[in-house]
Amino acid sequence: MEEEKKTYSRRSFLKVTSISGGGMLIGFSWMANLMPNIALSKEHPTKDWIKLTGFIEINALNEIKLYSPNPEIGTNVMTSLPMLIAEELDIEWETVIVEQGNYDTPRFKSQFTGGSMAINMAWIPLRTAGATARQMLMQAAANQWNVPLKELTTTKGAVYHSATSRSLSYGALAAAASILPIPDKVPIKQNTEFSLIGTHQKNVVGKKIVTGKPLYTLDYQEEGMLIAMAIHPPAFGMQLKSFNAADALKMPGIKDIFDIKVY
């Protein structure tokens, strides 16, 4: 493990709030400023669930959900971003439930897909969030067993103490972990320690995409809504001189044709 070196405080984007029914909520904003997320702190978590970064939920049955903030358009972000958290949280990818986060920019901060920036922006923050939650769960177990934290290990969503052959699932530790102070310094894995990152995984929503299940902007319908189409010049630098829309306006369904002033 290696400790991440940074100039910002982990407390600026992680905080414990709103505990209900054995769950733990850690707010996390993963944009560059990493400011505390006020909207998330006011939200009440679902009973028996842990929420991490607004994207992770762990319930008392040790079921784990990972939410993706970025919309999936076939670029695999709904798989790759949750994998960053799962790697450091030390859970089995095959057992993870991945869901798309709702449109809630105040909560999620970054909800766009494009520019090939998702992994670059999330690489340290999402991994740090997973590692922080893991250590809090380990600390909860250490307190319960009255053993040093350094004697504990984790694997497959559980904390282990080999010296006494004891173990507890993350779900069983959620309530205790939720009231612990958030650690200031948490080690993250070295690249050589990765077991999930760098592996080939199927797009978790690939089947839904090819069968037309997700709702995209172009799929949205509202009564009386019109569809607009833009016609661009055939080459960069070309400009519109004039156009005659008379024939096109005679076509069924065409309401208007106009040029757009671009600044």
Q: What CATH number did the domain enclosing 139 receive?
A: 3.30.365.10
Which pTM was predicted? Answer: 0.70
The pLDDT, as a whole number, for residue 41 is: 38
Question: How many domains are there within the chain?
Answer: 1
Structure tokens at 162: 């080999």
- Provide the residue range defining the domain that includes 176: 2-210
Q: Is residue 71 part of a domain?
A: yes
Q: Is residue 218 part of a domain?
A: no
Q: pLDDT tens digits for 88-123?
A: 999 999 989 998 888 877 766 677 777 888 888 889
Segments of the chain with pLDDT less than 50: 1-22, 30-46
Q: Where are the alpha helices (DSSP H) in 34-117?
A: 38-41, 77-89, 105-108
Nearest to 10 by CA among 133, 103, 129: 129
Burial code (b: 16+ CB inside 10 Å, e: under 16) for 58-72 equals bbbebbbbbbbbbbb
Q: Is residue 118 part of a domain?
A: yes
